[in-house]
Amino acid sequence: MAKPPVLTPQSDDFPRWYQDVVAKAEMADNGPVRGTMVIRPYGYSIWEQMQADVDRRIKKAGAKNAYFPLFIPESYLKREAEHVEGFSPELAVVTVAGGKTLEEPVVVRPTSETVIGEFMAKWVQSYRDLPLLLNQWANVVRWELRPRIFLRTSEFLWQEGHTAHASQEDGRLYAERILHDVYETFMRNVLAIPVVVGRKTVKERFAGATNTMTCEAMMGDGKALQMGTSHELGQNFAKAFDIQYLDSDGAQQHAWTTSWGVSTRMVGGLIMCHGDDAGLRIPPVLAPVQVVVLAVRDDDAVIERCRALAEELADADIRVELDVRTETSMGRRATDWELKGIPVRLELGPRDLTEGVVTLVHRVGGLKEPVALSGIVASVTEALATAQAALLAEATTRRDTHTVDVATITEATEAASTGWARIPWATLGLEGEAELAKSGVTVRCLVMPDGSLPASDSADGALAIVSRAY
RNA sequence: CGGGGAAUGGCGCAGCUUGGUAGCGCGCCUGCUUUGGGAGCAGGAGGCCGGGAGUUCGAAUCUCCCUUCCCCGACCA
């Protein structure tokens, strides 16, 4: 009798598959409070890898890390009208603390523009203080109506960058720099996710921003996921929080601010972009464990050789884990590592040992090949590079084959049942956008035909990428 | 907030119609045999059946109230 599949097949029920993987790969559990999640060690190690890489890139772009408080005076949120309107339904508010009703309720931050704006106002006096480039790694809370683990949780982890500039131009360039040099590059080169970078429509724009830019990724089922955003906030927050500086001519000026962030949602995106019916497939550059060395049998010589092998790989700076839990069957362990998406598995048994080889199993593609024990570092290095490239190629092919050019709203809706549609923004317009929304289809972003960012909300020739989204 | 479901060992479920204080699969523990793709057999541990009130000799099961969760929709950076 055939064994039932380890996971619900993607083609049967994609959301169910996603839930299954999250549980069986030991990524996360639901928390006790609705919408919260417990990130398990394996899931957290993936987040830590993301964090480390993104943090390095942010610092390279000149921003410095700081930390602002979790609690924000409710009055701060109210200072920027559009901002408070955008958030009020999803705010968690503390009204009682220390056994007493608070004079002024405090809000658990949904994002930190307001509190950071308040302090920027204190720190910025002169044009010489600009640009002020800050970033923080923090948790934020948004009481979402429909949570989904990693994709939309009531509390999530992220990095939020906040900057103040002397001119609109400088702010815009910095927001774009973060979008391209930090987010897009990281997603493509590390996550192996070929995101489309574009400009949000007015409807989809962040509350309080003058321009919202986004990285949109296509998931395995053809739906879109916003993986990161970068906002130009204009002078909205500078005016609300009085961030002013004296320019070189001695005149008071309001600063121009930006904000930008990526979150634990990326973990969900990674799962849904690369996962298959056997589980996760983690791109090697990101993978907390790149190689697992697996002892096939309980045999002293085998286990000893496995240890030596793992050590040799670790010495070559390959992230390796040793699995000599021979009390568990070989098949079970192989399945479990596959679920976790470890890119390369080295299986070593008595047979391999006598032949001086080890069986190298590729998670991407599934190929199994005997490779010489002597040149193992080179073989593994090559296998990792191949897997990284293959994942990006696969995701790129899917994105491209599931994106079609259309001319009408009806065609766009149709195309959105299996992927993305590209339609001239001039054809669609605000009414078309509203029309699509009725069937659950949204404009993910606007892009120019050459892939660059539209310079305005109504840039000539801009194309709308429309699809269903998570 | 509207519509639909559900709450029973860690997880997934059956039992309820026709009341007699729980059962299955997976997981877990012990032992033996196994181990090259989710091991097998044997023996175990583990549940005041979401909460409260009521009917009854007796309630997982019937009645009423409450709470929570899930799905669809509205909402969402």
* A314-353 pLDDT per residue, tens: 999 999 999 999 999 999 999 999 999 999 999 999 999 9
Closest CA to A94 of A119, A118, A70, A68: A70
Maximum Cα–Cα distance across chain A: 83
Query: Tokens 């830019």 map to which residue?
Result: A213
Q: Which of residues 60-99 of A touch strand B (CB under 7 A)?
A: 86-87, 89-90
What are the residues facing A64 on neighbouring strands? A134
Tell me the three state secondary structure of residue A141. Answer: strand
pLDDT band at residue A3 under the 50/70/90 scheme = low
Q: What are phi and psi of A21, to 5 degrees?
A: -65, -45
Query: Mean pLDDT over residues A26-37, rounded?
Result: 84
The CATH number of A403-467 is 3.30.110
Query: Mean pLDDT over residues A66-74, rounded?
Result: 95
- The DSSP output letter for A428 is H
Cα dihedral A327, A329, A330, A334 sign: negative
- Asked whether residue A300's C-beta has any atom of DNA/RNA strand B within 7 A, the reply is no
Closest CA to A21 of A216, A266, A281: A281
Measured distance CA(A433)–CA(A234) in Å, rounded: 25
Radius of gyration of chain A (CA): 25
> What pLDDT is recorded for position A1?
33
CA of A449 to C1' of B76 (A): 29
Write the DSSP string, A193-212: ---EEEE--TTTS-TT-SEE
Contacts of A244 (CB under 8 A, 6+ apart): A121, A124, A238, A252, A253, A254, A255
Residue A65: how many other CB atoms lie within 10 Å: 13
- Asked whether residue A433's C-beta has any atom of DNA/RNA strand B within 7 A, the reply is no
The torsion of the CA quartet A225, A230, A235, A240, rounded to 10 degrees, works out to 60
Closest CA to A163 of A138, A137, A117, A132: A132
Length of chain A, in residues: 470
Cα A51 versus chain centre, distance: 10
Would you report the helix, strand and coil content of chain A in percent, each value rounded to 5? 40, 30, 35
pLDDT band at residue A2 under the 50/70/90 scheme = very low
- Asked whether residue A352's C-beta has any atom of DNA/RNA strand B within 7 A, the reply is yes
- Asked whether residue A348's C-beta has any atom of DNA/RNA strand B within 7 A, the reply is yes
Which helix H or strand E contains A84, and what residues bound it? helix A81-87
- Asked whether residue A229's C-beta has any atom of DNA/RNA strand B within 7 A, the reply is yes
By CB atoms closer than 10 A (0-12, 13-18, 19+), residue A447 is buried
ipTM: 0.87
- Measured CA to C1', the nucleotide nearest A15 is B71
CA of A139 to C1' of B52 (A): 38
> What pLDDT is recorded for position A351?
95
Write the DSSP string, A311-367: HHHHHTT--EEEE--TTS-HHHHHHHHHHHT-SEEEEE-HHHHHHTEEEEEETTT--
A224-235 pLDDT, tens digit each: 999 999 999 999
Domain span(s) for CATH 3.30.930.10 in chain A: 20-274
CA of A277 to C1' of B14 (A): 29
Tell me which nucleotides of strand B come within 7 A of a protein CB. Answer: 1, 34-39, 68-77
A405-418 pLDDT, tens digit each: 999 999 999 999 88
Query: Mean pLDDT over residues A100-106, rounded?
Result: 89
Tell me the CA distances in angstroms from A45 to A50, A64, A264, A347, one per residue in order. 9, 23, 12, 24
- Measured CA to C1', the nucleotide nearest A208 is B77
pLDDT above 60 for A53: yes
> What pLDDT is recorded for position A100?
84
- Measured CA to C1', the nucleotide nearest A331 is B37
The CATH number of A291-383 is 3.40.50.800
Angle at A57 between CA A391 and CA A129, to 5 degrees: 155
Domain span(s) for CATH 3.40.50.800 in chain A: 291-383
The CATH number of A20-274 is 3.30.930.10
Q: Which of residues 140-169 of A touch strand B (CB under 7 A)?
A: 140, 142, 144-148, 152
Contacts of A88 (CB under 8 A, 6+ apart): A77
Domain span(s) for CATH 3.30.110 in chain A: 403-467
- Asked whether residue A107's C-beta has any atom of DNA/RNA strand B within 7 A, the reply is no
A248-284 pLDDT, tens digit each: 999 999 999 999 999 999 999 999 999 999 999 999 9
pLDDT band at residue A56 under the 50/70/90 scheme = very high
Q: Are A176 and A127 in contact, with CB atoms under 8 Å apart?
A: no
Query: Mean pLDDT over residues A368-390, rounded?
Result: 97
Q: Are A376 and A402 in contact, with CB atoms under 8 Å apart?
A: no
Tell me the three state secondary structure of residue A369. Answer: strand
CA of A351 to C1' of B41 (A): 29
Q: What is the phi-psi region of residue A256: left when phi exceeds 0, alpha when psi lies from -120 to 50, beta otherwise?
A: beta
A159-209 pLDDT, tens digit each: 999 999 999 999 999 999 999 999 999 999 999 999 999 999 999 999 899
When the pLDDT of each residue in chain A is averaged and rounded to a whole number, the result is: 94
> What pLDDT is recorded for position A95?
86
Measured distance CA(A270)–CA(A50) in Å, rounded: 11
CA of A304 to C1' of B77 (A): 52
